[in-house]
Structure 1
Amino acid sequence: MVATTTLGGTASNVVVAKVIHGLMTMTCVPNPVPEEQAFAAIKAGVDALPQGVKMVLNSAQFYGQHWSLGNLELLSRFYEKYPDYADRTFLMVKGAMDTEKFKVDCSPEHLRRSVDKCIAALRGTKKIDVFQPCRIDKSFTIEEIMKTLVELRNEGKFSHIGLSECSAATMRRAHAVHPIAIVEIEVSPTSYEEETKRVIAAAAELDIAVAGYSPLGHGLLSGTFKKREDLDPQDFRANMARFKEENFQHNLAIAEAIQSMAAKKGCTPAQLCIAWVASLGPKVLPLPGSSRKERTLENLAGGDVILSEEDKQEIAHVLETHPVKGGRYADDPSTDSLLWG
């Protein structure tokens, strides 16, 4: 039986699979996957769900090559070919990115322009269910940003409002303006900062869902990599702190411990990490990526894996005795706090 939950805010009546399907790796990679492979990966997850349960799909304005609209354009072709799947999926779209300057822009003019670009890319095949700025633009107050988002929602451009990489304090202020359906933050056994815990706790209090992206630590914990040479030099992760040579071998020991635990548990390392994120709360939804049918189903099954308190304590012990080296993106872990808006 596929684990399910409901979202929050204005989407609190929407029943969805506990595990979200991230679509970034279909198009935002050096070599995008064949279209039919991508379509099969999406269909597999949706087809595995009971009637009335929706699959949350996670996309963005900039998930194409060279930060283009390619991912949304792929989705438009998917929905044209399989129109019945529009009502069976719940589409989250991140935007507000100035792709020419590669920086977030939450000015009223740019927010509107970003939303309109995303809508145009979908070509009327599917309405955006949740729109979320990809980061909090500190040039504006969250109240100013929310005012624009509420105006756009009231115009019918999307159905619900979400946030991404927000602090607990910012989320509270935003929610006071208008109910937030879901917030997207990085959550994994190796990315569980104090602010992450505060966001999850505040979201539970306010009945806001949390999408925990990169539950496998950007693939670090999946067991895919045995040595750094396994990573394509063109892969964006090659420049991430935790994948750099001086940190990689140390962090690989954490991955090996996760693999050993998964073997004892009778699941894959990916499923163990997904289950760990899912265990953080009834409305905490792991958000792994998948561009293959088999991986979509593996990820979805991770939501059904139940971790005992002993399992969670064992993972905590591994991380206490062998803490991850490097920040989420930069070399210095202390800079992670700068990511929170």
Structure 2
Amino acid sequence: MVQVQTAKLGGTAKDVVIGKVGTGLMLMTWTPTPTPDEQAFAVIKAAIDAMPPGVKMLLNSSQFYAHDYGTANLELLSRFFEKYPEYADKAFLSVKGGTKPFALQPDVTEEGIRTSVKLCADALRGKKKIDLFEMARVDRTRPLEDQLKQLAALSKEGYFDHIGLSESSAKSIREANAVVPIAAVEIEISPWSYEEETRNVIATCAELGIATIAYSPLGRGFLTGTIDKLAPGDMRSHFTRFKEESMKANKVFADALKVIADKKGITSATLCLAWVCSRGPHVVPIPGSSKPERIISNIEAGSIQLTEEDLAAIDKAIKEHEIVGSRYVDGVPKEVLHLWG
């Protein structure tokens, strides 16, 4: 029996109960060698099967999780739910969009948003409805209020049920939630991505009753302590934290976390997930894996209770180790990456 802690979403989804640890699907398709269907299906099925009755598994997907920034991830889900139609109601599907087709460039025009939403829905071929749709970045080239009102209208048209935000600042969350009820906000949270605005977002979401979905809770895998170098074509090679010299410097931090994990008798991955879960009852990490057994251990990490001593040790490690490299690409203004909109 898998030990499963639960969490609740917010806004119009406030009555939806999900597992405390969800599942990110990005690297099943955003990789030079996509995960074969049989293997991917086993992972998704294991994640959903682990949920007790009445609890949904949060699956996190996107319009652009592919090497060509296309809808391969959603197409994978479409094939899964076609094979296992009885699983559609057991999953809560979150989808990021709001970019131009086959591009990472945001398009928040009226036509652009409708095109994105329809593209995502079409890729699923009616096999699973989008439960939560979120714009991948907060782009101010069009008033945020207008974008949200359009999303509310598209929801009424039946494309999706709930509205979320991604990479949003605390200020934008308040602004958005005053226009439409926000069910969830997706941001990066891990021991090496815990800046002041991250903490502000977590606190604001707690105040407003909004779930905080934590992507890359394992530092894109680096904090597991198992990555020494990247394979050719790995998307992480573009990030400055994964440059050779940066990885060498940041390994000291990963090693410090491993010492704490070893002392507790758990893996570094479990320690990081338990730490992210400890940020609040509304914080839901979404690690990904291509192995069913790893998915189960990720889910069970939500039941690990960290002691005050554990938390103090992790906090000390965070304060004492300066991370080399930014979350994405050094030298590129955050306005270009649309971070913390």
Query: Which TM-score band applies after superposition, normalised by the shorter structure?
Result: over 0.9
1:212 to 205, 211, 214: 214
Secondary structure class of the residue paired with 2:178:
helix
Q: CA deviation at 1:49?
A: 1.4
1:3 corresponds to: 5
TM-score (norm 2): 0.96
- CA distances 1:235-289 after superposition (whole Å, capped 9, x unpaired): 0111211111232111001111111211121221111111111100101001111
Written as runs of structure 1 = structure 2, the 5 A alignment for 1:175-194 is 175-194=177-196
1:202 corresponds to: 204
2:259 maps to 1:268: no
2:28 to 21, 26, 37: 26
Unaligned runs of 5+ in 2: none
Q: 1:332 to 1:193 in 2, by over 3 A?
A: farther
Secondary structure class of the residue paired with 2:58:
strand
Secondary structure class of the residue paired with 2:214:
strand
1-side partners of 2:289 and 2:247: how far apart?
23
Q: CA deviation at 1:58?
A: 0.2
Written as runs of structure 1 = structure 2, the 5 A alignment for 1:37-76 is 37-76=39-78
Q: CA deviation at 1:335?
A: 4.9
* AA at the equivalent of 2:171: A
Q: 1:324 to 1:200 in 2, by over 3 A?
A: same
Deviates more, 1:135-144 or 1:18-27: 135-144
1:80 to 79, 82, 89: 82
Unaligned runs of 5+ in 1: none
1:173 corresponds to: 175
2-side partners of 1:99 and 1:137: how far apart?
17
* AA at the equivalent of 2:74: L
Q: CA deviation at 1:62?
A: 0.8
TM-score (norm 1): 0.96
Q: 1:332 to 1:250 in 2, by over 3 A?
A: farther
1:130 to 129, 132, 151: 132
2:334 maps to 1:339: no
Q: CA deviation at 1:339?
A: 1.2
Q: CA deviation at 1:331?
A: 2.5
1-side partners of 2:147 and 2:48: how far apart?
33
- Root-mean-square deviation over aligned CA pairs: 1.5
1:116 to 109, 115, 118: 118
Q: 1:206 to 1:35 in 2, by over 3 A?
A: same
Secondary structure class of the residue paired with 1:191:
coil
2:291 maps to 1:292: yes
Q: 1:320 to 1:332 in 2, by over 3 A?
A: farther
Does structure 1 retain, via aligned residues, the 8 Å contact 2:241–2:326? yes
2-side partners of 1:243 and 1:332: how far apart?
15
2:251 maps to 1:252: yes
Q: CA deviation at 1:303?
A: 0.8
- CA distances 1:138-169 after superposition (whole Å, capped 9, x unpaired): 20121111111111111121000001000000
- CA distances 1:163-218 after superposition (whole Å, capped 9, x unpaired): 10000000101000010000000000000011111111110000000001001111
Does structure 1 retain, via aligned residues, the 8 Å contact 2:62–2:95? yes
Q: 1:134 to 1:7 in 2, by over 3 A?
A: same
2-side partners of 1:238 and 1:121: how far apart?
29
2-side partners of 1:320 and 1:154: how far apart?
46
Secondary structure class of the residue paired with 1:152:
helix
1:323 corresponds to: 322
Secondary structure class of the residue paired with 1:78:
helix
* AA at the equivalent of 1:231: L
Q: Which runs of 4+ in 1 moved over 4 A?
A: 332-338
Deviates more, 1:105-114 or 1:83-92: 105-114
Does structure 2 retain, via aligned residues, the 8 Å contact 1:7–1:182? yes
Does structure 1 retain, via aligned residues, the 8 Å contact 2:7–2:282? yes
- Percent sequence identity is 52
Does structure 1 retain, via aligned residues, the 8 Å contact 2:169–2:197? yes
